[in-house]
Amino acid sequence: MKENDIQRLLLWYEKNKRDLPWRHTKDAYKIWVSETMLQQTRVDTVVPYYERFLKKLPTLKDLAMIPEEELLKLWEGLGYYSRARNLQKAAKILCAEKFDFLPPDKFLLEQLPGIGPYTVGAILSIAYEIEEPAIDGNVLRVLSRVYEESEDILSSKVRKKYTEILRGLMKGASPNLFTQSFIELGALVCTKTPDCPNCPLNNCCKAYKHQTVLSYPKKKLKKEKPVFLKTVFLFQYKNTFMIHKRQENGLLANLYEFPNWESFLTLEEVYNILAQKKIFYKNVTFLGEVTHVFSHQKWHLKVYKILLEEPIFHDFLLQERKF
């Protein structure tokens, strides 16, 4: 890739970029929130969350001060809740150090919880126009094709190599436009089903030249995720459903969920448990099975609805839980 390839990419970006709310600000706090939400979540999903989050928490100080329960409520549905907790931890650290904004300081940003090299690069380049590359999955996909990268793109060696290549290519361009144009190309053109004829980098792309685009990026085979079987109880009394709060540590810490059991239960086993626990119900209905996929595990859930005769006020499953 050379300077004129970058010029073509920037022109393409000017013409084709999506109108996204975080592209109307240079406020590093807002850019940070958007980039954190965009990790592992699609742009379309993020937009309404981003707007609601910043309406409620327009400044770093607001984020540091909000009770955790309210913060998690704002995040509800986005998943990966440690992202929200880390945002707040980092905001508290900055406020304790008397910062009321995110400083343009690479060393300081790198120390904050939840902020890795991608987020540092995104904040510095997009908000502060500092020449620091930001390499996410989108950018790696583009680079792996342009250079026909034969190594695992998730290795730190490959990341380092491309950080230096991008650092060189960034010189002379606006770091903001440079970073966003690579991300946008990866999101709109250089995708799983790439639109190579309309790509501004097609004349410097080795994979396009050799018609090997679909063989890139190369990734090491991922380990299969462990699968957990569970049974979920929707206890209904009139028009209310019972929920309980998970424990303070570990996966989905402190969040609310429907009571559940750590195995698949047959209808007969459900009846037995309800009898043992002296729960008075009108009827039990099997609603079906659902799968929920996390980054590192999968839950297969069997769901029963139990229409109650009388409300339950104790968390009767809690003693049974091993985690």
Determine the longest span between alpha carbons in the chain, in angstroms. Answer: 75
Strands 298-308 and 281-293: antiparallel
20 contacts ligand ADE (rule: CB under 6 A) = yes
Residue 175 three-state SS: helix
CB of 168 to ligand ADE, least distance (A): 22
- Residue nearer to ligand ADE on the CB measure, 38 or 301: 38
- Helices 43-56 and 28-38 pack at an angle, to 10 degrees, of 140
Closer residue to ligand ADE, CB minimum distance, 176 or 260: 176
**Encoding tokens for residue 49?**
């969350």
Give CA–CA dist 122/168, Å, rounded: 17
**Nearest distance, CB of residue 50 and ligand ADE, angstroms:** 11
- Asked if 35 is part of the footprint of ligand ADE (rule: CB under 6 A), the reply reads yes
Q: Which among 3, 14, 35, 269 is annotated as catalytic? A: 35
Torsion region of 129: left, alpha or beta (phi above 0 gives left; psi -120 to 50 gives alpha) = left
Which amino acid appears at position 122 of this protein?
A
Q: Does 187 bind ligand ADE (CB under 6 A)?
A: yes
Interface characters, 151-180, with ligand ADE (x: CB under 6 A): -----------------------------x
Of the candidates 1, 10, 43, 95, which one interacts with ligand ADE according to CB under 6 A? 43
Q: Tell me which DSSP letter residue 171 carries.
A: T
Q: Which is nearer to ligand ADE, 136 or 149 (CB)?
A: 136
168 close to 181: Cβ distance less than 8 angstroms: no
Q: Sign of dihedral through CA atoms 114, 118, 124, 127?
A: negative
- CA contacts within 13 A on the Cβ side of 179: 26
The minimum distance between CB 1 and ligand ADE, in angstroms, equals: 20
Taking CB under 6 A as the rule, which mask of x and - marks residues 54-93 in contact with ligand ADE?
----------------------------------------
Nearer to ligand ADE, 30 or 302 (CB): 30
Answer for which of 9, 28, 33, 38 binds ligand ADE (CB under 6 A) is 38
Touching ligand ADE, residues 264-323 (CB under 6 A): none
Report the residue number, 182 or 233, with the smaller CB distance to ligand ADE.
Answer: 182
- Tell me whether residue 35 is one of the annotated catalytic residues: yes
Residue in 256, 260, 259, 252 with CA at minimum distance from that of residue 231:
260
Task: Look up residue 43 and give its two tokens.
Answer: 């742009």
75: which residues sit within 8 A by CB, 6+ positions away?
49, 53, 81, 83, 84
3-state secondary structure of 72: helix
Measure the CA–CA gap between 78 and 296, rounded to whole angstroms: 16
Q: How many residues bind ligand ADE (CB under 6 A)?
A: 8
Stretch that binds ligand ADE, among 35-43, 63-71, 85-93, 281-289 (CB under 6 A): 35-43
**98-137 footprint of ligand ADE as x/- string (CB under 6 A):** --------------------------------------x-
The CB-nearest residue to ligand ADE is 38
Q: Which residues are catalytic?
A: 35
User: Which residues bind to ligand ADE, rule: CB under 6 A?
Assistant: 20, 35, 38, 43, 136, 180, 183, 187
